[in-house]
A and B are shown apart, each in its own frame.
Chain A
């Protein structure tokens, strides 16, 4: 390898290349996280680029989410391509913009994804009971009580409800799926690529 080749290889933002390639692959790797109630009563599988709602074994679709997911998939692939281009041509003045833009397309969706998961669990644990029509059920003998408890990110809890003489216990399980590791790795590499780019300038 000539010294010219070696210097060219040194002028590549390798973390950015790796993050960009992972970003291009991420929309096709499936869910990052899953919550299931009962065995097959209800489940939701999510990632920033994928969703699946199942109710009693039947898939449920929300049209607006289908189109939003397509938009996010295109955006992350486009961001990955921009990140790769910016990382390949670090000596070009557009490079910083491309790396900043591309890395942002995995950093922000990933951060927002975890914030939404935590907020969702916080809402269910603290406020969902207040939205149940307990007052309307006061005419039912023994009234109605709801006790919703879900894990924040992973784990199993049991939620309960009592309406009249009926009591139901619903185990709720949350778990991460293996593609989340790719997402976190891509986000970490994207963050490193931003720092790494500073070395060239």
Chain B
């Protein structure tokens, strides 16, 4: 075979080999350029990673007005396969007009995550959990909660995240 002809055939074969799978794949994907070009799996889980404040739920609470100790477990809802739990924090209760005005939490608050070993969470709440108008006999359901001045550090899949002076409002037990 003439080298020149062979060169042309080889060049043509290159073009065909490159184009055929692309054209075939494009037709298989309904000739929809967007579905052909964009990633199609695995990114949905990033939405709602930490949930919204409204997604927080509480459980296993103890709230002792006599001793001034509070123990709460709060769970951040997440679209991933784990929840973040703030657990067992305690502090001093301050009263206003015979009712609980607000609670100052201890400096170190242990924050834990469930169902994963990849998530490490540590935090500090230096002003605390604000509780409005709770009187003796009231339960945690009666509290109007919000957190303020929270410094939260997290390590998630090797990424370190630090949130300073975080305010979490409208927490509904």
- Which residues of A are in contact with B by a Cβ distance under 8 Å? 37-41, 53-56, 58-64, 66-68, 70-72, 74-75, 78, 82, 93-94, 96-98, 101, 165-171
CB of B7 within 8 Å of the partner chain: yes
Complex CA distance for A75 and B19, rounded to whole angstroms: 11
Stretch at the interface among B30-38, B51-59, B126-134, B138-146: B30-38
Contacts A41-B156, A41-B158, A62-B37 given; does A97 touch B3 at CB 8 Å? yes
Give me the 6 closest cross-chain CB pairs, A-B, nearest first: A38-B158, A39-B158, A67-B25, A58-B42, A60-B42, A67-B21
Complex CA distance for A83 and B41, rounded to whole angstroms: 38
What interface size band does chain B fall in?
A: 35 or more
Stretch at the interface among B10-18, B61-69, B83-91, B98-106: B10-18
Find A64's partner among B7, B37, B166 (CB 8 Å cutoff).
B37
CB distance from A162 to the nearest CB of B (A): 9
Contact indicator A75/B18 (Cβ below 8 Å): yes
Complex CA distance for A82 and B6, rounded to whole angstroms: 11
Complex CA distance for A71 and B13, rounded to whole angstroms: 11
Contact indicator B46/A56 (Cβ below 8 Å): yes
- Which residues of B are in contact with A by a Cβ distance under 8 Å? 1, 3, 6-7, 10, 13-14, 17-22, 24-25, 29, 35-43, 45-46, 80, 118, 156-166
Contacts A58-B45, A97-B6 given; does A169 touch B160 at CB 8 Å? yes
Contact indicator B41/A171 (Cβ below 8 Å): no
Can you identify 28 A-B contacts, CB atoms within 8 angstroms? A37-B159, A38-B159, A40-B157, A41-B157, A53-B42, A54-B42, A55-B43, A56-B80, A58-B41, A59-B42, A60-B39, A61-B41, A63-B29, A63-B35, A63-B37, A74-B21, A94-B1, A94-B3, A94-B6, A97-B6, A98-B6, A165-B165, A166-B162, A166-B164, A167-B161, A168-B161, A168-B162, A171-B158
Complex CA distance for A61 and B42, rounded to whole angstroms: 8
Complex CA distance for A97 and B3, rounded to whole angstroms: 6
Contacts of B80 in A (CB 8 A): 56
Contact indicator A93/B21 (Cβ below 8 Å): no
Complex CA distance for A55 and B39, rounded to whole angstroms: 11
Contacts of A72 in B (CB 8 A): 18
Contacts A41-B156, A165-B165, A169-B159 given; does A75 touch B29 at CB 8 Å? no
Contact indicator A67/B24 (Cβ below 8 Å): yes
Contact indicator B165/A61 (Cβ below 8 Å): no
Contact indicator B166/A165 (Cβ below 8 Å): yes
Find B20's partner among A37, A71, A168 (CB 8 Å cutoff).
A71
Chain B's closest residue to A68 (CB) is B22
Contacts of A94 in B (CB 8 A): 1, 3, 6
Complex CA distance for A58 and B164, rounded to whole angstroms: 30
Chain A's closest residue to B162 (CB) is A167
Contact indicator B21/A68 (Cβ below 8 Å): yes
Contact indicator B158/A53 (Cβ below 8 Å): no
Contacts of B37 in A (CB 8 A): 62-64
Contacts of B29 in A (CB 8 A): 63
Contact indicator B10/A82 (Cβ below 8 Å): yes
Contacts of B20 in A (CB 8 A): 71
